[in-house]
Amino acid sequence: MMTRVPLVAVLFAGCTGGTPPPPSAPAPVAPAVAASVSATPAPAATGVCCESFGYGARMVECCTKAVWTKPDECRIPPGFVGGGKRIVDDAKCK
């Protein structure tokens, strides 16, 4: 007899659920390089701050990541399941 596994268990087997761990501190940059290299691109040059996320246990949002991108790249393709993308406040991308 074949055992049926719920689809949710298959989709989210690797996600821990709950809140994600706090981000780690960025690696220090040499002073000579720090003046010429920016850690994040300027919003005007790249577009919007786009946050992608997944769903953990009990459909709690987890595994969030915010990056600068073009507005048309911050969309979910048709038929996509298991998370999403949304345009968020610029402060999340800093």
- Measure the CA dihedral 72/73/75/80, to 10°: 140
The string of pLDDT tens digits covering residues 33-90 is 444 444 555 555 669 999 999 999 999 999 999 999 999 999 999 999 989 999 999 9
- Domain ranges within the chain, ordered by starting residue: 42-94
> d(Cα 8, Cα 60) in Å, to the nearest integer?
12
The string of pLDDT tens digits covering residues 17-30 is 555 555 565 555 55
Show the tokens assigned to 8: 């949710």
